[in-house]
Amino acid sequence: MLKSMIPDMYAQSIYTIDFHELQRRGIKSVIVDLDNTLVESTRPDATPRLIEWLDEVKHMGFQVIIVSNNTKTRVSQFATPLQIPYIHTAKKPLSQAFRKALQMMGSNKEETVVIGDQLLTDVLGGNRMGLYTILVTPVSNVDGFFTRINRQIERLVFRWMEKRGLLRWEENH
């Protein structure tokens, strides 16, 4: 069970991910979490830096979809102005939203990456589907009630991973 929470890659943020390397791996589609992955959970809209990043990623040919456990109101108000498709109330780590995202993008497992800040939702859900997973450092320490519980469990999993030499954060960040 714990091994299914080990991401394929760690990154300090979405901005440090090498998308050229992902292209070389055959990745064409990006499933990305919203809160504390793209922006703080308290920020209602995208930052100029995030808008620039999204434009760059799309210009490289990647499809992007937001898959979030948050409400329709929160996710739609964020994603609609950016013209990014989204799935709200995703119930990650369950597979249904990941399957729906693949279908919406016309993508397959081998060409899709999941990027998120939580082991118990993003990484576990992506790994269970056989997707390439990237865990990023949360952009904020402000979490909702259920996320705070997840973070406590994550700390235990991180300790388990550390003891086994399974933590591989990027060397240069």
Where are the domains positioned within the chain? 2-96+117-163
Query: pTM for the complete prediction?
Result: 0.85
Residue 104 token pair: 């919406």
The predicted structure's pLDDT at residue 148 = 67
Cis amide prior to 48 (ω within 30 degrees):
no
Report the run of H or E that residue 150 belongs to, with start and end: helix 145-163
Q: What is the DSSP letter of 98?
A: H
Amino acid at residue number 96: Q
Alpha-carbon distance of 110 to 28, in angstroms, equals 9
CATH of domain 2-96+117-163: 3.40.50
**Average pLDDT by stretches of 10, the chain with 173 residues:** 81 96 97 95 94 97 97 97 97 96 97 95 95 92 65 72 66 39
